[in-house]
Amino acid sequence: MTDKTLQQIDKLICSWLKQIDNVIPQLITEMTTETKRHRFDLVTNVDKQIQQQFQQFLATHFPEHQLLAEEKSNEMITNEINHLWIMDPIDGTANLVKQQEDYCIILAYFYEGKPMLSYVYDYPHKKLYKAIRGEGAFCNGIKMEEPHR
């Protein structure tokens, strides 16, 4: 995978995250909650809609990419997939339901099994953390310093 291709993917993902930023307030206003495996395992319409919109985004822009996600059946995911996205549409669903500000959208992109891009979007604080293979980590577009070891 070329650096240019990776940059193009990153640009589209950042654009999608900005777009989803406009959708989240309405979803939260109309929030519905269900339980999955047990009463502490929650899923909301916010989780489902964000994931569904990302699936539609992939189908439009990267139809050959696959998605491994929390709110869907992942039976078709195999080790042979060249382009794989892993998503937690809302990490911290219980906090979202309690109207606390500790939740985020998590995305990671793997090409031929290697991590290439990762995103943690802290929606309540409007902070987008991302890492690009070979380029480092960024917060809202500003390169983060590597920790001293």
Known binding-site residue numbers for Mg(2+): 70, 88, 90-91
What are the binding residues?
70, 88, 90-91
Torsion sign (Cα): 130, 135, 141, 146: positive
Between the two ends of the chain, the Cα-to-Cα distance in Å is 30
d(CA 25, CA 113): 35
Chain centroid to Cα 1, Å, comes to 21
d(CA 80, CA 119): 23
d(CA 71, CA 36): 10
- The one-letter amino acid at 97: V
Yes or no: say if 76 and 90 are a contact pair by the CB < 8 Å rule: no
